[in-house]
Structure 1
Amino acid sequence: MKIAVIADIHGNASAIMAVLDEIGKRQEIEHIYCLGNMIGIGPHTNEVLDILFSRNDISMISGNHDEAVLALIKGEEHPFSHSHAREHHQWIAERMDKSFISKLEQLPRTIKKEINGKSILFIHYHIEKGKLNEHISKDPFHSIVEPSLENLEVMFKGNNENLICYGHHHPTHYFKNDKTIYLNPGALGCNTKSTAPYEIVDVKRDKTGISLNEANYNNLEFLASYGLLQVPNLEFILKVFHGNQLRQ
C-alpha cells in the first residue's frame, strides 16, 4: 500500500495545490496523512483549510500553530513559548472562517495505523504520554532536537512503531535502525526555494520504501501576498521561513 505524508503547510495554498496535483497523478496513492500546522505563518488560512477539509482521502492531526490559533479564538490561554507569534496568531484568528473552528477542534494529536503488518504513528512532534491531553498553553510538544538517529531514538524511546512520521522541525529527516523508520517529510509550505516537499511511503510486508519528493511551483505570488495582506512580522517571516526569496 502506498500513502503520501505531508506536514507544515503553514497557510500556503499554492504549495499544497502543487503537491496534491502531483499526488493525484499517481493513482497508486491510496491515502494522504497530514502531520499538522496547516495554518499559521502563511496568510492563506481559509484557502488551505477549504482544500483539506473538502477531501475524503486526507487524514489530519493538529499541530502547535493550529492549536495556538484556536486558543485565541476560544479565549483560552495562549502558550507563553509562542509569545513572539501572538500578534501573528491573532491576525490569523481574526480572519479564519468560523466554520473551520469545530473541524480543527475535532482533530486528534496522533493517528495510529497498521498497514500490511507494520505499525505506524503519525504525530506532529513527540509528546510524552502523560502530556497527550494537555492544553497547548502547557507546551506539551517536545522541544526540537538536532536531527540524528541517536536523538530521535532517545526522544521516541517509549514508542515501538515500525514507522514514526512527524513534522514541526522544517527540514526533511529520514533515519532508520533495525526496527524503526523516523520520517519528517519537511515543511511543505515553508521553504527557502520554490519547491514543496512531500513523501511517498510504500508499506509492504517485507519492507517499507520511502520516496522523498518535491513539487515545483511558482511561489512569487504567494510570497508577495504577505505584503499585500499586511501580514504581521513580515520581514521576520520572509527571512526565517522563506530565505528572503522575495528580496533576492
Structure 2
Amino acid sequence: MKVAIITDVHGNASALKAVLRVIDQRDDIDHIYCLGDMVGIGPDTNEVLELLFARNDLSMITGNHDEAVLAIINGEPHPDGHIHVKEHHEWIAERMHRNFITKLEKLPRTIQHIINDHSVYFTHYHMESKKLDEHISLNPFSKIVEPNLNNLEMLFKDHHHDLIGFGHHHPTHLFRNDRTIFLNPGSLGCNGEPVAPYAIVTIESTGIQVNLEKVNYDNSSFLLSYKSLQVPEYEFIIRAFHGGQQA
C-alpha cells in the first residue's frame, strides 16, 4: 500500500492544490492522510476545507489551530497558550463557512491502523493519553521538542508503532530506530520558499519506505492576499511563517 501524508496546510490553497495535482497525476496512491492544522495563518480557509472534504480518498485529524478556531465559533474558552493569535483565530472564525463547522467537529485527533502487519499511528503532535479528550483550551498537545531521534523516542515513549506520523512543528522530521519511523513531512503551507513538502510512504509486509517530496508552486497571489484581505498581523506572519518572501 502506498499513501501520501500531508500536514499543516494552514490555509494555503495554492500549495495544497499544487500537491494534490501531483498526487492525482500518479496512479499508485491508495490514500491521503492530512495530519491537522488545515486552517489558521493563511487566509484560504474555505477553499482549503472544500478541497479536502470533497475527496473520498483522504482522512483528516484536527490540529491545535483547527480546534482553537472551533472553540471561538462555539463560544468556548480559547487556549491561553494561543492568546497571541486569538485575534487572528477570530478573523478566521468569522469567515469560515458554516457548513464546515460540523465536519471539522466530527474529525478525530488520532488515527491508528494496521496496514500490511505494520502499526501506523497519526496525530497532529504528541498528547499524553490522559489528555486525549481534553478541550483545546487546556493545551493538551505536548511541548514541541527539537527534532532528533532521542527527543522523539522520549516524547513518544508510550507509543509502540512501526510508523508515527505527525505535524505541528513545521520543519521536516525523518528519524528511524530499530522499531519505529518518526515522520513529519513538514508544513505544506508554511515555508520560507515557494515549495510545498509532503511524503509518500510505501507500507508492505516486508517493511516501510518513506520518500520525502516537495512541489514548487507560484505563491505570489497567496502572499499578496495577506495584505489585500488585511489578515491580522500579516506582516509578522509573512516574516515568521513564509521567510519574509516578497510576492
Q: Which TM bucket (shorter chain)?
A: over 0.9
Deviation at 1:68, TM superposition (A): 0.1
Matched residue, 2:85: 85
Q: Hey, what's the Cα distance between the residues in 1 that align with 2:80 and 2:236? A: 19
CA deviation map 1:119-169 (0-9, x unaligned): 000100000000000000000000100000000000000000100000000
1:228-247 equivalences under 5 Å are: 228-246=228-246
Matched residue, 2:107: 107
Q: Which runs of 5+ in 2 are unaligned?
A: none
Q: Hey, what's the Cα distance between the residues in 2 that align with 1:123 and 1:144? A: 14
Query: Which structure 1 residue ranges, 4+ long, deviate > 4 Å from structure 2?
Result: none
Deviation at 1:61, TM superposition (A): 0.1
Q: Hey, what's the Cα distance between the residues in 1 that align with 2:246 and 2:114? A: 43
Q: Hey, what's the Cα distance between the residues in 2 that align with 1:239 and 1:113? A: 38
CA deviation map 1:91-120 (0-9, x unaligned): 000000011000000000000011110000
Matched residue, 2:72: 72
Q: Hey, what's the Cα distance between the residues in 1 that align with 2:38 and 2:27? A: 24
Q: Hey, what's the Cα distance between the residues in 2 that align with 1:143 and 1:224? A: 32
Matched residue, 1:44: 44
1:52-201 equivalences under 5 Å are: 52-201=52-201
Deviation at 1:241, TM superposition (A): 0.0
Write the letter of the residue equivalent to 2:85.
Answer: A
Aligned to 2:30, the other structure's residue is in SS state: strand
Write the letter of the residue equivalent to 1:139.
Answer: N
Aligned to 2:26, the other structure's residue is in SS state: coil
Q: What is the aligned-residue RMSD (CA, Å)?
A: 0.6
Matched residue, 1:214: 214
Matched residue, 2:19: 19
Aligned to 1:52, the other structure's residue is in SS state: helix
Deviation at 1:201, TM superposition (A): 0.1
Deviation at 1:43, TM superposition (A): 0.1
Indicate whether 1:29 and 2:21 are aligned. no
Aligned positions, number? 247
Q: Hey, what's the Cα distance between the residues in 2 that align with 1:133 and 1:10? A: 23
Matched residue, 2:9: 9
Write the letter of the residue equivalent to 2:172.
Answer: T
Q: Hey, what's the Cα distance between the residues in 1 that align with 2:23 and 2:215? A: 9
TM-score, normalised with respect to structure 1: 0.99
Q: Hey, what's the Cα distance between the residues in 1 that align with 2:244 and 2:180? A: 36
Q: Hey, what's the Cα distance between the residues in 2 that align with 1:82 and 1:153? A: 27
Write the letter of the residue equivalent to 1:10.
Answer: H
Deviation at 1:207, TM superposition (A): 1.3
Aligned to 1:238, the other structure's residue is in SS state: helix
Write the letter of the residue equivalent to 1:134.
Answer: E
Write the letter of the residue equivalent to 2:170.
Answer: H
Deviation at 1:25, TM superposition (A): 1.0
Q: Hey, what's the Cα distance between the residues in 2 that align with 1:153 and 1:120? A: 16
Deviation at 1:206, TM superposition (A): 1.1
Deviation at 1:235, TM superposition (A): 1.1
Q: Which runs of 5+ in 1 are unaligned?
A: none
